[in-house]
């Protein structure tokens, strides 16, 4: 298992605050484990998907507009919807 050091970024109310880099593989660890077993058995598609998951960082939504779908992707979806309705 790969291990990463956490980064201490400060202190809040006497507690240390740290940053942990997470990937899609960390988020869906059960699926990643199944893919790893298949990849170890020689399944190239499973290996490619596992690699994609391990390289896809998890992100934090930092503004209300993004959480409501108003970020870049949300704006593109809205624009696409407007074009279809015309």
| Terminal Cα-to-Cα distance of the chain (whole angstroms) | 52
Residue 2 counted as domain residue: no
Question: What's the pLDDT band for 81 if we cut at 50, 70, 90?
Answer: low
Dist. CA 2–CA 7, nearest whole Å: 16
Tell me the three state secondary structure of residue 12: strand
pLDDT score, position 86 = 47
**Helix-strand-coil split of the chain, %, nearest 5:** 55, 15, 30
In a domain, 72, yes or no: yes
Q: For residues 58, 1, 5 and 60, what is the CA-based torsion angle, rounded to 10 degrees?
A: 10
As a whole number, the mean pLDDT across the chain is 78
Entry pTM: 0.54
In whole angstroms, what is the distance from residue 62 CA to residue 60 CA? 6
Q: Which of 40-44, 53-57, 65-69 has the lowest mean pLDDT?
A: 65-69
Mind listing the pLDDT tens digit for each residue in 3-24?
777 778 888 888 888 877 788 9
**Domain contains 53:** yes
Task: Indicate the number of domains in the chain.
Answer: 1
Structural domain includes residue 40: yes
**Integer Rg of the chain from CA:** 19
Q: Which domain holds residue 63?
A: 7-85
In this structure, is residue 1 part of a structural domain?
Answer: no
Considering the domain boundaries, does residue 81 fall inside one? yes
Assess if residue 48 is contained within a domain. yes
Residue 80 in domain: yes
């Amino acid at each position: 298992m790969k291990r990463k050091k956490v980064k201490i970024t400060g202190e809040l109310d006497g507690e240390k605050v740290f940053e942990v880099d997470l990937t899609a593989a960390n988020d869906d660890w059960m699926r990643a484990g199944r893919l790893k077993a298949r990849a170890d058995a020689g399944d190239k598609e499973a290996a490619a998907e596992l690699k994609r998951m391990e390289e896809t960082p998890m992100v934090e939504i930092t503004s209300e507009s993004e959480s409501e779908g108003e970020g870049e992707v949300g704006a593109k979806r809205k624009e696409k919807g407007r074009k279809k309705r015309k």
